Amino acid sequence: MSVKCSKCEKSAVYLRRYTNERLCVSCLLECTLDRVRRTINKYDMLKRHDRIAVAISGGKDSAALLDILVRIEDAYSESEILPFTIDEGIMGYRDEALKAAKKLVGLHGLDLHIWSFNELFGKTLDEIVKNRSDTSFGACSYCGVFRRKAMNDAAIALDADVVATGHIMDDEAQTILMNIMRGDTRRITRGNRFRANPVDGFIPRIKPLMGISQRDVIAYTHYMHLPYHDVPCPYAEEAYRSEVRIFLNKMEYRHPGTFLAILSSGDVISKSLLTRPSDSTFRKCDKCGSPTPRNVCKACSLLEEL
């Protein structure tokens, strides 16, 4: 016998543990859109006339992000959705993910803008990793620095007002906990400031899916039939985050709502710290003009070393 949806008469297909709701396919769609709308409003993430650059990785989180934003923004004819992908140049991984990204974007009748490390920095990530002299600086560290810059450059080239990324509730809870465990509480304030304190030269980044869990995303992409590529990156190495992920997943399973509680703790910490003056001021990088607290930005100093 099928179990009834908590919101209507149809059969439930998904149990959302942290709200203890059983949802049918149409209520899963409506509840997901509703949660994302509430997150967007709570943090003032979007404005009516925004040009929204949407970072597409080819994976399921950004597949859900694009689909959800297209549905939500359908109500606002003045806004524009601009999907883009950063191609780091990781053989056998990003090239496969790119195929899924193109298919996804095509389904929504949009164009995919692609920026590659090779075009922007003259090297693929594979080449950077192969030729680096300092092997203690891992692939993900190079990737993170260059991707941040590439995303900002892409957003500027697209004349975007904001960049939306596919970070979900699980990522956010892990990041908050990791920052606390490393004693870096000030970083938490950066996590949810979004458009509040714009820095000249930085296109603000928003995370509309931060109220949606990994399980929600899996159910959503499955029932909305979204194409995605779900093979881990060959360089994936963040052992510390993996440990935190395994621990938090166990806690969330035993005590549904743990992720949400960590997110609201992050909000409280962030608010109390924001009443203090900021300790970093930004200037323009001497080499590329990107905003940075140093004389030369991290990407340019890494490029010099390489």
Cα–Cα distances in Å, from 42 out to 114, 127, 210? 31, 42, 11
Judged by beta carbon distances under 5 to 8 A according to partner kind, the member of Zn ion, ligand SF4, none in contact with residue 139 is ligand SF4
Residue type (1 letter), 62: S
Q: Which of 54, 297, 302, 303 binds Zn ion (CB under 5 A)?
A: 297
CB 78 within 8 A of CB 205: no
Residue type (1 letter), 138: G
Residue type (1 letter), 176: I
User: Of 24-63, which residues contact Zn ion (CB under 5 A)?
Assistant: 24, 27
Q: Which of 106, 144, 198, 293 binds ligand SF4 (CB under 6 A)?
A: 144
> Interface with ligand SF4 includes 178 (CB under 6 A)?
no
Count of residues in the chain: 306
CB nearer ligand SF4, residue 44 or residue 243: 243
Backbone angles phi and psi of 23, in degrees to 5: -125, 140
CB nearer ligand SF4, residue 54 or residue 143: 143
In angstroms, the CA 104 to CA 165 distance is: 16
In angstroms, the CA 189 to CA 152 distance is: 20
> Interface with ligand SF4 includes 106 (CB under 6 A)?
no
CB 120 within 8 A of CB 143: no
Region from 122-130, 162-170, 177-185, 292-300 binding Zn ion, contact rule CB under 5 A: 292-300
Region from 35-43, 46-54, 228-236, 242-250 binding ligand SF4, contact rule CB under 6 A: 228-236
Judged by beta carbon distances under 5 to 8 A according to partner kind, the member of Zn ion, ligand SF4, none in contact with residue 235 is ligand SF4
Determine the Cα angle at 53 with ends 49 and 59, to 5°: 140
In angstroms, the CA 110 to CA 120 distance is: 24
CB 58 within 8 A of CB 96: yes
> Interface with ligand SF4 includes 235 (CB under 6 A)?
yes
Judged by beta carbon distances under 5 to 8 A according to partner kind, the member of Zn ion, ligand SF4, none in contact with residue 143 is ligand SF4
Least separation in angstroms between residue 254's CB and Zn ion is 27
In angstroms, the CA 86 to CA 235 distance is: 16
> Interface with ligand SF4 includes 139 (CB under 6 A)?
yes
Tokens 């703790």, residue located: 265
Region from 58-66, 140-148, 200-208, 282-290 binding ligand SF4, contact rule CB under 6 A: 140-148
Q: Contact residues for ligand SF4 (CB under 6 A)?
A: 88, 139-140, 143-144, 233, 235-236
Q: Contact residues for Zn ion (CB under 5 A)?
A: 5, 7-8, 10, 24, 27, 285, 287-288, 290, 297, 300
